[in-house]
A and B are shown apart, each in its own frame.
Chain A
Amino acid sequence: MTVSELVRPLLPIIAPNDGHPYVAGSRCTECGHTYVGARDVCAKCTARDRMEAVRLAETGKVWAWTVVHRSFPGVATPFVDVIVDLDDGAHIKGTLVDVDPQAVTPDMPVRMVFREVNPAGADGPYLTYLFVPA
């Protein structure tokens, strides 16, 4: 998916990549655990300097979810908050859109998309990842 190169990423883990964004991750070459975002030391096996930067998978399955009806002021509700087990073994939190909240089920296949959004408290659009049913 191509998005405007000018839109700022909402989180540091979102790599704009010249309009072909992805979520940055890292994998421990010692134990194989895959993390969201960059890091130097493996929290799981404690290995140092064994991390390689990876581009996280864009498909996965819903592990847990909730429908959030009350959030902070300025945040639109309801929305579906999901914990997704990505196909590369990473685990990531996100918002599931384009779905009936009642239809979310365990292990529901989802995929990551990138869209311009207007976050609460922002002065303009930002780039974020979202999940949609796969």
Chain B
Amino acid sequence: MSDVYVVGIDMIRFGRFPDRTVPGLAAEAALLALDDAGLSIRDIQALYCGNLGQANGMVGQRMLAEIGQTGIPVVNVANACATGATAFRDAWIAIKAGLYDTVLAVGVEQMGKGLLGGTGGGPSPEGLVGSYTMPAMFAQIGIEHARKYGTTFEQFARVSVKNHHHSTLNPKSMYRKETPLEEVMGAEMIAYPNTKLMCSVNVDGSAAAVLMAEEKVRRLGLMDRAVRIRASEMSSNPFAERQMAMPDFSAATRLAAKSAYERAGIGPDDVNLVELHDCFATAELVHYENLGLCADGEAGRLIDEGVTALGGKVPVNVSGGLLSKGHPLGATGIANIYEVATHLRGKAGARQVEGARIGLTHVVGGGPGMGTACAIHVLEKA
């Protein structure tokens, strides 16, 4: 089986674009990624397109109608917050299978402001049988960590301080504003311990990647821009004791992380930077442990000591993360890969993680009563 490389990758600056269309946003990222690779849509043999909000709307075909209808197979993908990463992985699988040597993966989302979901029609159990809001779910995950290890409100808040600081160095981030600790802790409480500044930002966005088989990368002389995909792993939620009451994002992340490290033949100590799923500040600390960046119970110490800040041993969410860069659900998975690839290429400017050779991306999504989708990619400088 051929090794697979990313030869072109880009994203639009995340923001709010209510006057644009979902296929239009996807098309912009697709063209940016093609330009990055120096390729044309005519070079693409298949398209995997991730989007949640219009999952039954054939976004991939509508995107091709905007940038060139070459008749290639299109697969439209929806998989919660792992949607974009799932589209990317499907592209990787197609090349691994030997079906194609040049494939495009796109992730796109257009979102409203405010809480995801709603009470819908008819009587709602919200508030009477707990809460079905995302902030409440992830608040409880933080409280669970606190009851096991004594993690504090302040430690969770430091995650937001760090990621918002990182985003000031990223021109593609939705927000680029420092948020001191007092401001994060003093912001409107959404669901304790997550304040408004500890919740990811609902934004519009798109990201795209061109994946290519090794032989063709060499033939076209693209190795100088190539990033090697060392592992592409997914998982769903294995049985967890409290899963019916409390969605479990940790077990799936641990499963995928174990597979990814094994597939890549590396350990967590070999990773130079991580883009992980900080949909809420509480989630980031839990995932330090799930991804093996530290032992169980050590996540609070990691954030306190700056280990995961830019300049630390393993910088996490140097892009600003979902907390500040923004979280357009279907685009996030590929945007995370863009960030890591940019560092591995040495092109991350002011936020460059010096000497980065190996990076890891992680997304995990799901919802109350649904289940979990997790995707982890390990990327290496070619």
Contact B128 A10 (CB under 8 A): yes
Partner of B140, one of A10, A83, A95, A122: A83
Please give the distance in Å from B123's CB to the nearest CB on chain A. 4
CB within 8 Å for A68 and B239 given contacts A63-B144, A106-B147, A122-B122: no
CB within 8 Å for A121 and B244 given contacts A65-B143, A94-B129: no
Q: In the complex, which residues of chain B have a beta carbon less than 8 angstroms from the beta carbon of A77? A: 127
Task: Spell out B's residues near A (CB within 8 Å).
Answer: 115, 117-131, 133, 135-136, 139-141, 143-144, 147, 188-193, 239, 241-246, 368
Partner of B125, one of A64, A85, A119: A119
CB within 8 Å for A91 and B245 given contacts A66-B139, A67-B191, A72-B119: yes
Please give the distance in Å from A37's CB to the nearest CB on chain B. 8
Task: Spell out A's residues near B (CB within 8 Å).
Answer: 10-11, 35-37, 43-44, 63-77, 79, 81-85, 91-95, 106, 117, 119-123, 126, 128-130
Contact B246 A121 (CB under 8 A): no
Q: How far is the CA of A46 from the CA of B306 in the complex (A)?
A: 44
Contact B135 A72 (CB under 8 A): no
Contact B129 A128 (CB under 8 A): yes
Not counting A68-B127, A68-B191, A121-B122, a sample of 16 additional A-B residue pairs whose C-beta atoms are within 8 angstroms of each other reads: A64-B144, A69-B189, A69-B191, A72-B126, A75-B124, A79-B131, A91-B241, A93-B368, A95-B127, A95-B130, A119-B126, A119-B128, A120-B123, A126-B123, A128-B125, A129-B129
Q: In the complex, which residues of chain A have a beta carbon less than 8 angstroms from the beta carbon of B124? A: 72, 74-75, 119-122
- What are 9 A-to-B residue pairs whose CB atoms are below 8 Å? A63-B242, A67-B189, A67-B192, A70-B115, A70-B133, A70-B188, A71-B127, A83-B246, A120-B127
Q: A107's closest neighbor in chain B, by CB?
A: B147
Q: In the complex, which residues of chain A have a beta carbon less than 8 angstroms from the beta carbon of B192? A: 66-67, 69
CB within 8 Å for A81 and B119 given contacts A64-B147, A94-B129, A120-B126: no
Partner of B126, one of A44, A75, A82: A75
Q: How far is the CA of A118 from the CA of B197 in the complex (A)?
A: 32
Partner of A10, one of B115, B125, B144, B193: B125
Please give the distance in Å from A54's CB to the nearest CB on chain B. 14
Most buried by B among A64, A83, A84: A64
CB within 8 Å for A91 and B244 given contacts A68-B131, A69-B192: yes
